[in-house]
Amino acid sequence: MIKLMKYMTKSQWLQFFLIIVCVFFDAFFVIKLPETMATIIAKVRMSAPVMEIVKSGLIMLLFAICSLISVVTAGFFAARVSASLCKNIREKIYTKVGNFSMKEINKFSTASLITRSTNDITQLQQTYAIGFRLLFTAPILAIFAIVKIIGKSWQLSVTTAGFILVLTFIFIGLIFFVAPKFKLMQKRIDKLNLVTRENLTGIKVIRAYNAQQKQTEKFEKANKEFFDVNLFLNKTMAFLSPIMGIIMNGLSLTIVWFGSYLVGKNILNIEEMMEFTQYSAILMVAFTMLSMMFLILPRANVSAKRVREVLDSSSSIIDGNVSENENLGTIEFQNVCFSYPDSSENALENISFKIEKGQTLAIIGATGSGKSTILNLIMRFYDKNSGKILIDGIDVKDYKLSTLYDKMGYSPQKSAIFSGTVEQNIGYGMNEEKHHEDVLKALKVSQSKEFVDKLDGGIKSHISQGGNNISGGQKQRVSIARALARNTEFLLFDDSFSALDFLTDKKLRKDLNKNYKNSTKIVVAQRVGSIMDADNIIVLDNGKIVGQGKHKDLLKNCKIYREIALSQLKKEEL
């Protein structure tokens, strides 16, 4: 938690030091109260003039007011600093996760990253807000109280020390007993988030298979596991309250009883006994604050570790230095091998090909043959294990990621549609002042114009998150239009035509070759009809190239391609 404080700004550090100053003054004024009260009792016992007693009472009231002001000020700045610090941490995590490769995303899991960005940081904020005050208030109060107690009465001092020792042992035992459960609880929250997320994203499949009961049982199990840990921790914390009451009231009772005996023996006077009672109570409160913090801190520390795991993780994708180069429009793979993290088998093995400017490369093969993996390597979502990937003659690793992505228009296998208008979705990541004409052109070429014009607001029509208010084919066309609108050097389509009917597919490919003839295109497809006119077709099987060439050549020379083709089209059509 202390290490995370490095994300505080200078302004926040200044406010943090103001908290310490306010806490110090609060402790000073609180310690002055028993002393002033003892003075009042002594004056009453000695029958001092009423005005002197009133004067001491007003001084005591002034100390109480000053203490109140100090507490409120410290609380205000503690809340402000904790909220600001956690805002900074949340922004850092968001930026960090945004720069992660798919390797790191899969390592943490999406559900866990969401928990770490929300629940864990909220836990930190609450602990910082309390801790910034209590962790300074408690020791300062304790030191002041001990200084005042020492020398008053060794008998009462030993009695107070005994009660504090008992309290300390109880809290140490609880800390060792409870701390592991906090770590377990955060994992249970991860699991609960995972199940909830699965239920929401897969709701159509769940309903289609009448699996509501199965998913409910799965959720109830995760919820019960979280409930059990949470209930245990709350019971343990609830157990503290009566224990604290017994110890504190027991100390007060013991001091009054033993103090009365010492007063009767003329070892102490009344005001000294009352002053000692107040100081011992303050000391107990200080130790209680400190002990409570050490019970709260383990859970917050678990959250802090989980947050730091994300912040301290380095992306396996390291930014290169090349920011400008000649746009040759070429992509070349030289004996590229790749395996996914934690996999012992290669997803791609000795892949070699070259595509020139303006050409269309098609990739086809069975499910799991590595088609999408090739695009993932070009986009540097992953890095190859061996071999070379050259973009315009330069190794893909040498490019600055921003420069590399500026070269690419990418339409993923699963259409990613954001909440906003049609125009905002298609012009995503472009300069808003200059993108309107490019958006209209992309709409037309992607065959989206017809359905967009029928929407109530046309290009300004709102699309809900995930594109839930448009069909699958419409989402796919919007995704294709987004790739085209950037008018980039390379266009990558990862099975982007699968939801289109044959006629729309044919029109789209015709307009694509006509309007974006200078862009180099890579098309991953399952349908032979979508790639028959490609300049070069690569046939993959189990991560290896088993055929490469034009459509007619592959029909003659590649058995796997021929089988795929014949399974989809008649000989006359081929």
User: Kind of pairing, strands 420-421 and 394-395?
Assistant: unpaired
Band (pLDDT 50/70/90 cuts) for residue 337 is very high
In the chain, the number of structural domains is 2
Looking at the predicted structure, is the pLDDT value of residue 270 above 80? Answer: no
pLDDT digits (tens, 9 = 90+) for 191-224: 888 888 888 778 878 888 788 888 888 889 989 9
- Give Cβ neighbours of residue 374 (< 8 Å, ≥ 6 apart): 333, 348, 351, 363, 522, 524
Alpha-carbon distance 474 to 497, whole Å?
Answer: 11
Alpha-carbon distance 371 to 545, whole Å?
Answer: 10
For helices 154-201 and 110-117, angle between their N-to-C axes, nearest 10 degrees: 140
In terms of pLDDT, which residue wins out, 125 or 144? 125
297 lies in the same domain as 344: no
CB–CB of 140/27 below 8 Å? yes
- pLDDT at position 461: 87
Is 432 among the domain residues?
no
33 lies in the same domain as 181: yes
105 lies in the same domain as 241: yes
- pLDDT at position 79: 93
pLDDT digits (tens, 9 = 90+) for 26-75: 989 988 888 888 788 878 877 788 888 889 889 999 999 999 999 999 99
Alpha-carbon distance 438 to 481, whole Å?
Answer: 10
255 lies in the same domain as 387: no
Q: Which CATH number fits the domain that encloses residue 55?
A: 1.20.1560.10
Give the total residue count for the chain: 574
Can you give the residue range of the structural domain that contains 403? 322-407+522-574
- pLDDT at position 433: 57
**Of 265, 286, 311, which residue is a domain's last?**
311
Looking at the predicted structure, is the pLDDT value of residue 484 above 80? Answer: yes
- pLDDT at position 396: 92
Distances (CA, A) of 97 to 5, 307, 310, 381: 20, 11, 8, 13
Alpha-carbon distance 501 to 277, whole Å?
Answer: 87
* Token couple for 146: 């001990």
**Of 277, 311, 345, which residue is a domain's last?**
311
Alpha-carbon distance 157 to 197, whole Å?
Answer: 58
Single pTM value for the model: 0.73
Alpha-carbon distance 374 to 338, whole Å?
Answer: 9
Percentage of residues in the chain having pLDDT higher than 70: 98
Nearest Cα to Cα of residue 108 among 126, 93, 123: 93
SS in 3 state form for 139-155? HHHHHHHHHHHCCCCHH
297 lies in the same domain as 340: no
User: Kind of pairing, strands 420-421 and 462-463?
Assistant: antiparallel
Band (pLDDT 50/70/90 cuts) for residue 377 is very high
**Of 311, 331, 350, which residue is a domain's last?**
311
- pLDDT at position 573: 66
In terms of pLDDT, which residue wins out, 539 or 104? 539
Q: What's the mean per-residue pLDDT of the chain? A: 85
Looking at the predicted structure, is the pLDDT value of residue 252 above 80? Answer: no
Look at 245-259, 300-314, 349-363 and tell me which has the smallest mean pLDDT. 245-259
SS in 3 state form for 170-230? HHHHHHHHHHHHHHHHHHHHHHHHHHHHHHHHCHHHHHHCCCHHHHHHHHHHHHHHHHHHH
In terms of pLDDT, which residue wins out, 156 or 552? 552
Looking at the predicted structure, is the pLDDT value of residue 151 above 70? Answer: no
- pLDDT at position 544: 92
Is 63 among the domain residues?
yes
* Token couple for 572: 């006359």
- Give Cβ neighbours of residue 570 (< 8 Å, ≥ 6 apart): none
- State mean pLDDT over 326-334: 89
Is 508 among the domain residues?
no
300 lies in the same domain as 333: no
* Token couple for 232: 């245990």
State the alpha helices, DSSP H only, in 100-118.
102-108, 110-117
Q: Which CATH number fits the domain that encloses residue 529?
A: 3.40.50.300
Terminus-to-terminus CA distance in the chain, angstroms? 66
